[in-house]
Structure 1
Amino acid sequence: MATHPLQLQMAELVLALVPDLTRNLQESIQQAIKHKNMGLQEAWARRRQRFQMEFETSLRPALAQVRQGLDPLAPRRQVAMDQLALVDEHQALRDVGIAHVVELATEANRSELFRLQNFFAGLNQNSQRPSREPNPLRPALFARALSDALSGSDLRAEGHYSLMQAAAPALAAALAPIYTALGEVLARERLTAMVSSVDLGNSPRRPLSSVPGGLDNLRQRVEAMESQRLSLGSGQGPNLLQRLYDQMLADPHLLPPVKAQLARLQIAVSRLAHHDPQLLRQQDHPTWRLINAVAAYGAAFQDAQDSRLRDFLQFLEDQTELLINSPAPNRQQFENLQRLIDGFIARQARERSGSSTAALAALERERQRGPWAALLREQLDAQLHSARISPSVREFLLGIWVDVIVQAMVLEGHEARSVQELVAVVDELVESLVPKRDPAAQEKQRHALPALVARIEHGLHSIALSDSKRSAILKGLAQQHARALRGLGESTAPEPAWIKETEVKRLLDERDSEFGSVWAHAEVNRAELPTEPLPLADARLRDEAVGQWLRHLQIGGWFHLFVNSHWLTAQLVWVSEGSQFYLFVGQDATDRHSMTQGALAQLYANGLVTYLEQEGLLERAVSTLMQDLDP
């Protein structure tokens, strides 16, 4: 599809402004870092000289995609259906830093961004799958470039996050001229009136927690007003239940088929209200929990014809029919239906994890990585006790090769044939390094070496060693094999630097810092997230709040969460035994993300993940009615 002329014009304008943006940003960061601690100043000093190049190297290709009418932040499937994208706490903290930058930049340029959002939404309105974030020039584009420019192997996740925090105000200010210029483009085209600069969605709205008394308080106020109306001879208006239901059914988040089922359920709810006075007093009444659950599940779908939604609504319709036909609906029946719905949603969610069975099993085994490595290292150490090998080979087998074997155990199971073959490499390598003086033995060994080296090289490819490190290891082994084939014993000359004990340990440390996961990260859609960071100063209270939230997660629930620099709406479909790993699946079955408990806790603590039903349909209706009653 051809690029719209205005989008092309905007992209070229931003490309022209990139040099000024980069210089201003670098100077602003320099000023901000002056007032920070020495650690941050040193980290920035190592990046300052290359910052402009790194920032533009990340940003310019993305802007080139915008010129072509593409969204560089749009999700791309990068993994196969039987693989997962594992996000650990370090990746999650990186995402927290990006989200912080986006939040500040959005607040600083809200009016301009709102107009751009409306303009690009208009361009995409005829799209079959319109994006929830149609603006391809949104702050996340620049925040990701900033994150890339500040990254480095010398900086751990916490240090990178601190740098992002320090640079966030600088980027927010540096983007102001960019968005002002883009707004002027709309003004010259006389589109300003069509894309109002007033962000109606940002009007102040009283949070639910500040509504005094919730449902029960609303009931008392409505009853008082009704009594006053009757005393004045005005007649009785609609009762509270009818008002609540009318307000809930008017909720813009409800899809038509979901609204139809809730309207049908109203028959049973109205009958229950006649003999259960607690219905309009208890906001956590099973009936309201049921209605909130139905609305929250329906809100997760954009397509009313989605087969999962249709199956769910058919199940609800069958159960609603039983309630309507019941002689006298009671609280227990609604509570039972709530459990049935939870079970149905959980079963449906587990079915969505079926294509990832092998990867999920690997995730279950992931938590055994440490114990397996320790046990295997102990066993090999005993096995190699009397082996005539150099210290460097011993370090290799007890270090890097142990990790190769454990990696295979995690991916395929500890009894897999591939694991046994990797274990067998240990004896074969030791035997291959024994000096051969007999010509026949030398010839036999010479023919066997290529296969052995190929297996070692294949094993090294399974872990995150760089090409240079892998080549150095293979070169060192080749030198020792050459000596063995010549019938020479262990060399008395100093060993190459790559095989010194301290160097091997350094390689292991570097490899550990680079090896985030055995699963590649996949990009996902971004959507708005109505959450706030936990306002707890005490670390212990904060940890307790996070732990309590994690314990109450249920399979089948839908969430908004920020993953790999994107917002997405996804369903929790699997939790590992021990709750160390979680699997989320988006609307698209290929949109799958697994994460560690630490990553999920990091997102929750920073307000970057929430249940869709955090503010339920009933609570929204109560909030609206309470505000309508205010003078």
Structure 2
Amino acid sequence: MSLGPHRALALTARVSYLDALIKGVHGLVQACTDGARLLASQSAEPGLYTRRRDLVLDLPRAVPAWEAALDTRLQLALRDLRLGRSLLARVAGADAVDIPLTLVDDHVMERDLSASRLAQAVADLTGSEYTDLNARLQAVGGPVESSGTQVDVLSVGWLARGVVDSWHDGGLAAAHWQTLQNVLQHEVAQWAQEAYHVANKALLDQGVRPEIDLRPFIRRARDAGVALTRPGDVDDVGGAGFAHSGAHWGAHSGTHSGAPARTAPAGNSGLQPLGRPYEETRLMTQTPAMGRGQLQSQAMLGKLAALVSRQVPGFAATAPMPSSSSGQASPSAARVSPGLGQAIQRVTEVVRRQADTQPGTAPATPDAVLQDLRHSQKALKDAAATPVERATIEIVALLFQSILQEERLPAAIRVWFARLQMPVLRVAVTEPDFFAATSHPARMLIDRMGACVMGFVAGEHDSEDALHDEIKRVVQVVEAYPDTGRRVFQTVLGEFERFLETYFRDQNQASRMGVSLAQQVEQRETWAIQYTIELRKMLETVPVHDGVREFLFRVWADVLAHSAVQTGQASEATRELKRAAADLIWSASAKTSREERAEVLRRLPPLLKLVREGMVRAGLGADAQDAHIQALNTALAAAFSARSAPLSSAHLREVTQRLEALDELLPDIAAMELDADTLRDLSGHESENLEVVAEGGTMPTPAMQAWARELQIGAWFQLDYRGRREQVQLAWQGLNKQLSLFVTPQGRGVLFQMHRLGAFLQAGLLLPLEEESLTTRATRQALAKLDADPARLLN
């Protein structure tokens, strides 16, 4: 190869690298902003908490300038590279380069240190990708080099310096950089790693050093201790999953029903946040990316299709088929041959008679129903008109053999699942994408129902309840509409999801108490937040002693909310507490006359008694009550010495009237914006039947938070908390999914706030009980049997 092509290839790699960086600028900035908000939602010592809150307040104003500065720097570098110009390095103290000896300003030194630390973080994470790129560049004109005043755009030092300078050029302070430093280092390293990957791919596509193994991103992300992939993300090279920052450019999202279980060292509920965000995943050396299970399921379907296609050339299960929004298959779907259709109908009747339990007779067993299905399989294959139909019959039979032999499913449920085999067979024959898409509604329905009952201990919970009745109803509806294809599966799947929304709240004996308590917690929190907001508005122009003002905002709003939940917003008890708030405001205003002071002394004992009773009902401990009473006494003492502001009778009348009408100002609870910034410490709501998770886990990444939002009601998990390892079921999610309730089989509720749920998922303290869905596991077993004996497809 001549020198010219060598240089062209090296230039292509650098241009590809800069292009990738430019495309990811917005995602990088957004990921850092999300990380800042996440930090601000975490508990911390007061000074650090204040710095994080200040950062969140300042970021929105400065982010556009920072993003523009970084994008401009990269665009100029790309222009100079294409024009053949050299890039000049920015030397510390560059403004005074003509002076041989001078003191370096502190801000210059801080900037250099920040850039150095950032460069080291990028180098640590991108080591393998960067090494591969160097090896390829050496084959086409030399590795990455930086010397003197000239730098290579591929060097981590040039990139780190550009990010730091852009941060300051955008008007962001060095103190803010220090507050967000760990998040910045992590996100920039991920951003750079993806860009190096793109540069490697550009050279690999030209045949440069193909023998170098481009290790899949998923492995490197795991080794480095981060797993930020959203479930369903796939790499654009080879289909392997990879982890990346909040910038999702270059990835393709797929549908998914949840994340797989993750293998992690045994954790404990006392695990605390580490010094570096996301660093806890360094403890988990065998943790796959969250989307890997979905990718593996899809890959397994691809293997199945390839194996069957080799044996049955007409088997066309290559890609999901387009469908309408109503769930009906496209007009290009195949039709069941008349002979096979009649045979399916006969087998359906046989299985239905076998599964229907007559009064006074023993219920059917899964083994007996499975035996009937096996005997019917030959009749089905004899009735099939084409090799594709015979192969489809065999595959579906193998899938259901696996499902019906799954002992973790209650026996009664397996019998009803058996009755789905013929409707599924009809759909599989008419819609080839049943074997190509994990999102096919028939698969999703089986997986969803199976996941809700998979956590039951074998031999227990076989007795019928509302969930079993709903599964029966779903199966009967599917049987009643055999010719509607995927549409009936899509319809009953939606109905099943809606059923679950009320089942755990109203009908499940184990979860009803926990869900009720969790809803009360959410309602109380929502009203307390709104009471606080309205009190702040109300007292904004009213002269109120600071001690009383803080008591009303921090304590009395929660007391009012508790009373509203327990007795109703319009109850006499709640109105009495509102009048107490008005009395406190008046009592703490300046008292200059003897009559006013005498009136305060007369009203004070019953007022403080009512205040203490309200705090007791709201669950405050004795020490907290004493502290608040002491603070109120201090405020009243200031009133007696006339050091507080006076309150006119007009002001007092206005405050009293607005307090009485406070409930009319509150919005509908469903419209309340409940999020991590407004939710307070919920540990005060803990009771015998409800545990509130207030500690444990480690700082979650934005992707972990996204995963926590995507958990499905009814799914089972393994929870490690307070020295116990037990199975729990997700039974309820609150407004905006900021609260999630898990229930043990014994009925004890465990309540998580969103950020704590992400922390437990990330630390491996909360693990999905099943690594694979029901149909994925069945497909794996069917694939193994077909691989061992492919001839059974047509025999």
TM-score by length of 2: 0.41
Task: Summarize the alignment of residues 556-567 of structure 1 with structure 2, pairs less than 5 Å apart.
Answer: 556-564=714-722, 566-567=724-725
Question: 3-state SS of the aligned residue for 2:737?
Answer: coil
Distance 1:576 1:166 in 2: 28
Q: Which of 609, 613, 624 is the equivalent residue of 2:781?
A: 624
Distance 2:309 2:501 in 1: 40
Alpha carbons of 1:250 and 1:524: their partners in 2 closer, same or farther (altered >3 Å)? farther
1:518 counterpart = 2:669: no
Structure 1 residue aligned with 2:543: 384
Q: Which of 402, 407, 411 is the equivalent residue of 2:553?
A: 402
1:360 counterpart = 2:515: no
Q: Which of 185, 209, 217 is the equivalent residue of 2:303?
A: 217
Structure 2 residue aligned with 1:601: 758
Q: Which of 401, 404, 408 is the equivalent residue of 1:246?
A: 401
Distance 1:289 1:212 in 2: 13
Distance 1:212 1:311 in 2: 33
In the alignment, is the contact (CA less than 8 A) between 1:404 and 1:459 conserved in 2? no
In the alignment, is the contact (CA less than 8 A) between 2:281 and 2:762 conserved in 1? no
1:301 counterpart = 2:456: yes
Distance 1:588 1:329 in 2: 41
Question: 3-state SS of the aligned residue for 2:736?
Answer: coil
Equivalent pairs counted in the alignment come to 395
* Counterpart AA for 1:581: L
Distance 1:579 1:271 in 2: 38
Shift of 1:474: 3.9
Structure 2 residue aligned with 1:411: 562
Task: Summarize the alignment of residues 472-621 of structure 1 with structure 2, pairs less than 5 Å apart.
Answer: 474=629, 489-490=641-642, 516-520=682-686, 542-544=701-703, 546-547=705-706, 549-564=707-722, 566-589=724-747, 591-609=748-766, 615-621=772-778
Alpha carbons of 1:515 and 1:220: their partners in 2 closer, same or farther (altered >3 Å)? closer
Shift of 1:397: 0.2
Distance 2:631 2:394 in 1: 85
Shift of 1:209: 4.4
Shift of 1:407: 0.5
Question: Identity over aligned residues, as a percent?
Answer: 19
Question: 3-state SS of the aligned residue for 2:751?
Answer: strand
Distance 1:369 1:618 in 2: 45
Structure 1 residue aligned with 2:242: none
In the alignment, is the contact (CA less than 8 A) between 1:404 and 1:463 conserved in 2? no
Shift of 1:361: 4.6
Distance 2:635 2:735 in 1: 45
Question: 3-state SS of the aligned residue for 1:383?
Answer: coil
Distance 1:437 1:569 in 2: 66
Structure 2 residue aligned with 1:348: 503
Structure 2 residue aligned with 1:312: 467
Question: 3-state SS of the aligned residue for 2:555?
Answer: helix
Q: Which of 385, 392, 410 is the equivalent residue of 1:255?
A: 410
Structure with the greater relative contact order (CA < 8 A, sep ≥ 6): 1 or 2? 1
Alpha carbons of 1:610 and 1:139: their partners in 2 closer, same or farther (altered >3 Å)? closer
Distance 2:448 2:540 in 1: 56
* Counterpart AA for 1:334: F
Distance 2:407 2:591 in 1: 77
In the alignment, is the contact (CA less than 8 A) between 2:408 and 2:456 conserved in 1? no
In the alignment, is the contact (CA less than 8 A) between 1:523 and 1:566 conserved in 2? no
Distance 1:337 1:426 in 2: 52
Shift of 1:406: 1.0
Describe the superposition over 1:276-300 as per-residue Cα deviations: whole angstroms up to 9, x where unpaired.
Answer: 3333333332222222122212213
Question: 3-state SS of the aligned residue for 1:239?
Answer: helix
In the alignment, is the contact (CA less than 8 A) between 2:517 and 2:690 conserved in 1? no
Question: 3-state SS of the aligned residue for 2:445?
Answer: helix
Describe the superposition over 1:320-351 as per-residue Cα deviations: whole angstroms up to 9, x where unpaired.
Answer: 34544556462222222322333333332331
* Counterpart AA for 2:538: Q
Choose 1 or 2 for highest CA Rg.
2
Describe the superposition over 1:143-185 as per-residue Cα deviations: whole angstroms up to 9, x where unpaired.
Answer: 56x76xxxxxxxxx646999x979999xxxxxxxxxxxxxxxx
* Counterpart AA for 1:517: S
In the alignment, is the contact (CA less than 8 A) between 1:571 and 1:585 conserved in 2? yes
In the alignment, is the contact (CA less than 8 A) between 1:573 and 1:583 conserved in 2? yes
Alpha carbons of 1:480 and 1:239: their partners in 2 closer, same or farther (altered >3 Å)? closer
Distance 1:546 1:513 in 2: 16
Task: Summarize the alignment of residues 65-80 of structure 1 with structure 2, pairs less than 5 Å apart.
Answer: none
- CA RMSD of superposed structures (Å): 5.0
Distance 1:263 1:225 in 2: 27
Task: Summarize the alignment of residues 105-124 of structure 1 with structure 2, pairs less than 5 Å apart.
Answer: none
In the alignment, is the contact (CA less than 8 A) between 2:445 and 2:489 conserved in 1? yes
In the alignment, is the contact (CA less than 8 A) between 2:413 and 2:468 conserved in 1? yes
Alpha carbons of 1:283 and 1:481: their partners in 2 closer, same or farther (altered >3 Å)? closer
Structure 2 residue aligned with 1:114: none
Structure 2 residue aligned with 1:509: none
